[in-house]
Structure 1
Amino acid sequence: MREADATTRKRLADALREAPATPSALADRFDLTPNAVVRHVEHVARSVEGNGERLLVAPPTCRDCGFDEFDDLLNLPSRCPACKSEAVSEPTFTVESG
């Protein structure tokens, strides 16, 4: 793991301790892509468990039909599996003390 990655992940974890955020919001804040944020957050989830914390994920939701039972919460779905709408909100991440 590169040092820059560790620094980015620590900064992401610190930001998620402060307030919940979506991948796009974090991407804008840290000059990353939303997909890169999701990959980093997967690692953050594992690292915070050792600190007695946990990553909480509010699932993506379809704005047309309300579907929110996506299989993979650490993902950026492009379409709703129920109604096929592309109006799907992003998941929201936060780190909470255990």
Structure 2
Amino acid sequence: MESRTTRERIADALREGPETPSSLADRFEVTPYAALGHVEHIATSVRNSADEEFLVRPPECRECGLSGFDDPLNLPSRCPECKHEGIEEPAFVVET
């Protein structure tokens, strides 16, 4: 049985390479929104670390290319500019 928490395992996955909320959800059998909750806590922990950096590729509209969303740690349902619903998910990585 796995003794590490889901959050610890997600943090390890982010250290291996970029992940989206959906890819984390599939990999760890949680919802994308639960994965985002874990990522938010991991981001806070990493900000307090001198050894690691938390990086975000923000969501991006597939129609107009907008990537300046207010909250990059979110799953927007549509673009605030063009109202298109095709949004590329954000991706996260922890670099050492």
- Fold agreement, TM-score > 0.5: yes
User: How much does 1:48 deviate?
Assistant: 2.2
User: How much does 1:34 deviate?
Assistant: 0.3
> Distance between the aligned counterparts of 1:49 and 1:85, measured in 2?
33
List per-residue Cα deviations over 1:46-67 (Å, max 9, x = no partner).
Answer: 1223442121110000001101
**Structure 1 residue ranges without an equivalent (≥5):** none
3-state secondary structure, aligned to 1:57: strand
Note the 1:53-92 alignment, pairs <5 A.
53-92=52-91
**Structure 2 residue ranges without an equivalent (≥5):** none
Size of the aligned set, in residue pairs, is 93
Aligned counterpart, 1:36: 34
> Distance between the aligned counterparts of 1:75 and 1:49, measured in 2?
18
List per-residue Cα deviations over 1:17-76 (Å, max 9, x = no partner).
Answer: 001010000000000000000011000011223442121110000001101000101000
In the superposition, the TM-score normalised over structure 1's length comes to 0.89
In the superposition, the TM-score normalised over structure 2's length comes to 0.91
Extract structure 1 runs of 4+ deviating beyond 3 A.
none
Tell me the C-alpha RMSD between the 2 structures.
1.4
Query: Which amino acid in the other structure matches residue 38 of structure 1?
Result: L
